[in-house]
């Protein structure tokens, strides 16, 4: 297949896939497949998040991060390796780096409600009592984004020649994370390490990521020819990208593209940026062994066999969130 060099992220409408119209569905799957084999990102509309919910979520997020550091730190538990609650400023760094990213974040995870034994693997969510509305809006956004993600995974399954429902049981009560992020203001840029950035270049760990529109510019994706291009989504869109688990499963047929959040111009370093990604993970026992139909002479098997749980554990250590 010839390489397509996108100058912007292709825009798709999830309503085409869920319409029941075979032609619209087929077009959606083709556009999704082309994008994920080349740039690894799409912008998606009709994803189920209302403007009202989005505004409430951002308001609650800003309210929490505006609290004093000593209050926020009440919700930080290092024993959880950043998997629930608050993670403080500069604690996470990109794989292969030691300088912490210029951000703080909060993790809300899966709420198991159907007596699934996997509940024992997940720590309980932690919610800030100072912002009582935070719990309701984060859990509702979690459910909406998870539902949209399941539809995208069904389209991916069709594209790579699997049964449409291949991922359904693998992401049921999956280890997904909603992560409100605050890229905090830097009052004195000279006081931070010279190589410190809001989010250094990285690939996401998970199957797919659904990113709600950020409050400021800065997200960039590394194109195949080595050029960084800005990622922008309209207010009614979420950006959906392939993660490393999906790249492993498909033997790099689908691309987990390197991306970053760059610092703003020096005169804007003293401003905040907010962003809320939903990292869609499968259950820990999912087998990430490269699919047979994605391996051939031109594309030999690129990864050792691993489960999703094993791969996640390895990556949390590389990110500095967990001790080896």
Percent with pLDDT over 70 in the chain:
90
pLDDT digits (tens, 9 = 90+) for 126-172: 999 999 999 999 999 999 999 999 999 999 999 999 999 999 999 99
Q: pLDDT grade, residue 1 (50/70/90)?
A: very low
Task: Count Cβ neighbours within 10 Å for each residue of 104-114 and write b for 16 or more, e otherwise.
Answer: bbbbbbbeeee
Q: pLDDT grade, residue 321 (50/70/90)?
A: low
* Least reliable range by pLDDT among 4-13, 69-78, 245-254: 4-13
**How far, in Å, CA of 311 to CA of 204, rounded?**
12
Per-residue pLDDT, 272? 87
Per-residue pLDDT, 7? 67
pLDDT digits (tens, 9 = 90+) for 53-92: 999 999 999 999 999 999 999 999 988 878 899 998 866 6
**Which residues have C-beta within 8 Å of that of residue 91, sequence separation ≥ 6?**
82, 100, 104, 320, 321
pLDDT digits (tens, 9 = 90+) for 279-297: 999 999 999 999 999 999 9
Per-residue pLDDT, 268? 76
Q: Look at residue 43 and give its three-state secondary structure.
A: strand
Structural domains of the chain, with CATH: 11-318 (2.60.120.330)
**How far, in Å, CA of 321 to CA of 324, rounded?**
10
**Exposed (0-12), middle (13-18) or buried (19+): which is 98, by Cβ within 10 Å?**
exposed
* Least reliable range by pLDDT among 8-17, 65-74, 185-194, 298-307: 185-194
Whether the model pTM is above 0.85: yes
Q: Report which of 111, 273, 254, 104 is spatially closest to residue 185, judged by C-alpha positions.
A: 273
pLDDT digits (tens, 9 = 90+) for 176-215: 999 999 988 877 777 666 667 777 787 889 999 999 866 5
Q: Report the chain's mean pLDDT, rounded to a whole number.
A: 88
């Amino acid at each position: 297949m010839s390489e397509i060099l996108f100058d912007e992220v292709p825009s798709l409408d999830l309503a085409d896939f869920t319409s029941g119209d075979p032609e619209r569905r087929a077009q959606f799957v083709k556009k999704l497949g082309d994008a994920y084999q080349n740039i690894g990102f799409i912008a998606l509309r009709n994803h189920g998040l209302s403007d009202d919910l989005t505004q409430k979520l951002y308001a609650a997020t800003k309210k929490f991060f505006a609290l004093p550091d000593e209050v926020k730190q009440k919700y930080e538990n290092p024993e959880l390796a950043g998997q629930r609650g608050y993670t403080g400023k500069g604690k996470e760094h990109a794989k292969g780096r030691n300088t912490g990213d210029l951000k703080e974040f909060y993790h809300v995870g899966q709420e198991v409600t159907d007596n699934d034994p996997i509940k024992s693997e997940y720590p309980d969510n932690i919610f800030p009592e100072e912002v009582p509305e935070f719990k309701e809006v984060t859990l509702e956004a979690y459910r909406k984004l998870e539902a949209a993600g399941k539809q995208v995974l069904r389209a991916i399954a069709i594209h790579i020649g699997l049964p449409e429902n291949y991922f359904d049981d693998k992401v049921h009560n999956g280890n997904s994370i909603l992560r409100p992020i605050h890229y905090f203001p830097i009052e004195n840029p000279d006081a931070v390490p010279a190589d410190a950035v809001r989010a250094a270049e990285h690939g996401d760990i998970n199957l797919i990521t659904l990113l709600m529109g950020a409050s400021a510019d800065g997200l960039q994706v590394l194109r195949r020819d080595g050029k960084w291009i800005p990622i922008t989504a309209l207010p009614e869109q979420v950006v959906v990208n392939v993660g490393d688990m999906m790249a492993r499963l498909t033997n790099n047929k689908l691309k987990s593209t390197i991306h970053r959040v760059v610092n703003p111009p020096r005169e804007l370093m003293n401003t905040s940026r907010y962003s809320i990604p939903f990292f869609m993970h499968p259950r820990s026992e999912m087998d990430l062994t490269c699919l047979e139909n994605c391996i051939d002479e031109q594309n030999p098997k690129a990864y050792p066999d691993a489960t999703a749980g094993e791969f996640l554990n390895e990556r949390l250590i590389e990110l500095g969130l967990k001790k080896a």
